[in-house]
Amino acid sequence: MLQGKFGNTVSAQDRQAVEAALRASDQLNVTPTQAAQTETRSGKQRIVLTEPLGTTVENTEPTLTWDAPSDGWTFRVHVEDRDSHQTVVTSAELDEALWLVSSPLLRGHSYLWHVEATAVGSHSKAPIDTSAPGLFSVLSDAGELQIQNARAGNPSHLLLGSLYTHYEMWPEAVLEYRKLVSEVPDSPEAIRLLRNAELRSNAQLVTAAPQ
């Protein structure tokens, strides 16, 4: 059983995270409604947000990336607090499709972000294209402490992957579960954990701002 593959003695809280991840892997699904919304919104935009989307980031100054036909375009990124709807940071004019957030975001908060494009040399300041909004969260102080404590104890891939799953850090969970599957390739539990995390990571759900 995978529940025994901790590698060290772990806390009851960490063990609960592993058990929750195993239970969640038995209920693997993304609803058709969510998938359809993502496809529809992406299809209408020439700017498509790529990272982070529908996930939690550990860094308070994450790198935001997107895809766009960038030749002849410049970009501006806007980040707002999901709950207050206040803009918290806006980028300068950018000539590439990525931006390292320039001031720390608050831990435990969720943020909406979007990208606007303008034509290089245009006298008009009106954007020629605007992405659909994306949603991400910043790992809470409690989550950061739990993960750092776990890392300090030389944890198993199962434990780290389960903690990342608990905090919805999907790309990190995928990496840990891939290592786990390499260790126990015949384990159906490990394969389910990986597939669950891959689905969540690849879904990249674009969440519209509340009306």
Structural domain that includes position 178: 12-31+140-203
User: Contact, 23 vs 196, CB < 8 A?
Assistant: no
Q: What is the pLDDT of residues 53-99, one digit of tens each?
A: 999 999 999 999 999 876 788 999 999 999 999 999 999 999 999 99
Residue of 13, 18, 19, 55 lying closest to 206 (CA atoms): 55
Residue type for position 156: S
Is there a single domain that holds both residue 103 and residue 68? yes
Residue of 25, 18, 13, 12 lying closest to 142 (CA atoms): 13
Number of domains in the chain: 2
Listed in sequence order, the DSSP H helices in the chain are: 12-25, 32-43, 141-152, 157-166, 170-183, 188-203
Whole-model pTM: value is 0.79
pLDDT at 208: 36
Checking if the pLDDT of 7 tops 90, the result is no
Domain final residue, candidates 83, 111, 138: 138
Q: Is position 5 within any domain?
A: no
Q: Is position 208 within any domain?
A: no
On the CB side of 53, how many CA atoms lie within 13 Å of its CA?
23
Specify the CATH number for the domain of residue 72: 2.60.40.10
